[in-house]
């Protein structure tokens, strides 16, 4: 089931949204839905990462390079 959401955005952001809409041939709603999904995914990833940092550091993993070395 779909819900309607009304939002307010600055004029310059709407202009950019409309340009993207025309360039990609998709609706504003499609762009906003995809953006929200991306936002929620990134937020979840950051939350998971912050929970895992202490465990990683306890095992000597401090950087992305350390992670890469362990998984390669």
Element (H, E) at 54: helix 28-58
| pLDDT tens per residue, range 15-69 | 999 999 999 999 999 999 999 999 999 999 999 999 999 998 999 999 989 988 8
Tell if the pTM clears 0.75, that is, is over it. Answer: no
Q: Which among 63, 61, 5, 69 is positioned nearest to 32, based on CA atoms?
A: 5
Three-class SS state of 66: helix
**What pLDDT was estimated at residue 48?**
95
**What pLDDT was estimated at residue 67?**
87
């Amino acid at each position: 089931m779909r819900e309607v959401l009304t939002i307010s955005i600055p004029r310059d952001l709407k202009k950019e949204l409309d340009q993207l809409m025309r360039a990609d041939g998709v609706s504003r709603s499609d762009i906003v839905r995809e953006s929200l999904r991306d936002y929620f995914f990134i937020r979840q990833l950051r939350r998971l990462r912050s929970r895992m940092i202490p465990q990683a550091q306890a095992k000597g993993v401090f950087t992305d390079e350390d992670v890469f070395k362990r998984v390669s």
